[in-house]
């Protein structure tokens, strides 16, 4: 069964450093997302991406964050200068369609997550 | 704005007894609703989804949820809990992006 993969599973970095989190979405999916979950809190939407453009972003997704689809398979989240409060689990997700589209059209498939620890 | 509220942060049941995880939603139109499960150190797995086809939705691992518009609820149930059901459960509404509830931790006692 196709699945979303993420690397690395755990990343430790020092405050102020840049990190790149990588995701390989399911191959026929067109919409890509990043979410994060700070320890003990709920999962929060960061950004959605379609057709090589950001389609929506949350207030959390400020200028320190960027996303890219550098080739036909990878989808990356970059944090330019990490802060302590960026420590969280980051989930990548992909879907065929964001809304509508019949059975499975709404469904987002999640990767296993990358745990980012900023020290 | 669309939102979901999970009424219990922690539910504890004995193995073999029924499970009820409660979720209320707020939506200005007919929503798409989901339940996701997160096992320890694992990613988020879709349990079931409601997309206006049928109000009683069956999911994986024996879970069901019933959409009740009059009560704005989408509670998750299972007739008989297994030890493997111990996990965090999230009620989610879709507005293109997903909006998650706070989560309910389900503990199963032997």
In this prediction, residue A96 has a pLDDT band, given cuts at 50, 70 and 90, of confident
Sort out which chain A residues have CB atoms less than 8 A from B96's CB and list them: 48, 55-56, 98-99
Residue linked to tokens 């979410």: A35
pLDDT at position B41 over 70: yes
Question: Across the interface, do B49 and A43 touch by the CB < 8 Å criterion?
Answer: no
Q: How far is B43 from chain A (nearest CA, A)?
A: 4
Q: How far is A2 from chain B (nearest CA, A)?
A: 13
pLDDT digits (tens, 9 = 90+) for A39-95: 988 899 999 999 999 999 999 999 999 999 988 789 999 999 999 999 999 999 998
Q: What is the distance between the alpha carbons of residues A69 and A50, in angstroms, rounded to a whole number?
A: 10
pLDDT of residue A99: 58
In this prediction, residue B19 has a pLDDT band, given cuts at 50, 70 and 90, of very high
Q: How far is CA B102 from CA B16, B63, B66, in A?
A: 26, 19, 20
Question: Across the interface, do B45 and A110 touch by the CB < 8 Å criterion?
Answer: yes
A51 backbone φψ class: left, alpha, beta (φ>0; ψ -120 to 50): left
User: Does A50 lie at the interface with B, CB-CB under 8 angstroms?
Assistant: no
First to last CA, chain A: 37
Sort out which chain B residues have CB atoms less than 8 A from A61's CB and list them: none
What does the pLDDT average to over B30-56?
86
| Sign of torsion over alpha carbons B11, B27, A34, A28 | positive
Q: What is the distance between the alpha carbons of residues B94 and B9, in angstroms, rounded to a whole number?
A: 21
Mean pLDDT of chain B, nearest integer:
91
């Amino acid at each position: 069964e196709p699945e979303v993969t993420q690397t690395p599973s755990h990343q430790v970095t020092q405050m102020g450093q840049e990190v790149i989190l990588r995701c390989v979405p399911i191959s026929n999916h067109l919409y890509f997302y990043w979410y994060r979950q700070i320890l003990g809190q709920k999962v929060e939407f960061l950004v959605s991406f379609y057709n090589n453009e950001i389609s929506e972003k949350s207030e959390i997704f400020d200028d320190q964050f960027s996303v890219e689809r550098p080739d036909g398979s990878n989808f990356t989240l970059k944090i330019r200068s990490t802060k302590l409060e960026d420590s969280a689990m980051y989930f990548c997700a992909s879907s065929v369609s964001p809304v509508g589209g019949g059975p499975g059209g709404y469904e987002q498939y999640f990767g296993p997550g990358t745990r980012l620890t900023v020290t | 704005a669309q939102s979901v509220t999970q009424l219990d942060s922690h539910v504890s049941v004995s193995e073999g007894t029924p499970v009820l995880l409660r979720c209320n939603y707020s939506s200005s139109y007919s929503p798409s609703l989901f339940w996701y499960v997160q096992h320890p150190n694992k990613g988020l797995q879709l349990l079931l989804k409601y997309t206006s086809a049928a109000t009683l939705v069956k999911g994986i691992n024996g879970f069901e949820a019933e959409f009740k518009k009059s009560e704005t609820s989408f509670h998750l149930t299972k007739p008989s809990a297994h030890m493997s059901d111990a996990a965090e459960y999230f009620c989610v509404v879709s507005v293109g992006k997903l909006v998650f509830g706070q989560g309910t931790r389900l503990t199963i006692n032997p």
